[in-house]
Chains A and B, each alone.
Chain A
Amino acid sequence: MSPVQSTWITYRSQIEIGLALLAYMMFLLGSVTILRGNPDTSWRYVIAVVPVAPAAVVVFLFVRRLARLDELQKRIQTEAFGFSLGATALITFAYGFLEGAGMPHLNWTYILPLMAALWAVGAAIFTFRYR
């Protein structure tokens, strides 16, 4: 595989994950909008879980991308996940204690986006470390 092909596969993988994330957000927005307009409908549970389908595609593409990484890239991702897990634990515990002291309650679904953002920060830090 030439470097150009390798670069294209990397970009294609990022584009695929980006499109799947976009589809997930659109499905989520649509699902929430429909449920707000029809709160008592009998198919509300089906509509509520529909965004899980594009989310599953994101997970599939992400796992496939991880499997295709070389050994250094896998190490960087492992370190980034470790950083993300630890930092998320610290932040969520700290905020949990603050909630006990009177801070407003936040929805637990914020945890995954926080973890993803910290994973990206970790990936940038550890990529820089091996440059």
Chain B
Amino acid sequence: MKNRLRVLRAELDWSQADLAERLGVSRQTVNAIETGKYDPSLPLAFSLARTFKRQIEEIFEAERSRL
């Protein structure tokens, strides 16, 4: 799943470790989500949305073939 995590994180000048700390997950998990290798659970996606004060759809974009 594509996402804008890296851009949003850069806008706030947060490192992956900073974001991981805010979400209560490991830096490895933040990196795997950013690179699209791991799709987060719905609760974690909502946590991300709350952290960035955005809607989930503004952060994640489902690939057309999977809709």
Contact = CB atoms under 8 A, between A and B. Distances in A.
Do A and B assemble together?
A: yes
Interface of A: 1-3, 6, 70-73, 75, 127, 129-131
B47 to A, nearest CB: 11
B27 to A, nearest CB: 7
| Interface of A, helix, strand, loop or mixed by DSSP | helix
What interface size band does chain B fall in? Answer: 10 to 19
A3 B40 contact: no
Interface string B28-39: 110111000110
A6 B31 CA distance: 16
A60 to B, nearest CB: 22
Contact of B26 (A2, A6, A129, A131): A6
B21 A130 contact: no
Contact of A71 (B17, B20, B25, B37): B25
Given A129-B37, A130-B37, A131-B31, A72 B26 contact: yes
B21 A72 contact: no
Residue of A2, A3, A129 with highest tally of chain B CB at under 10 A = A3
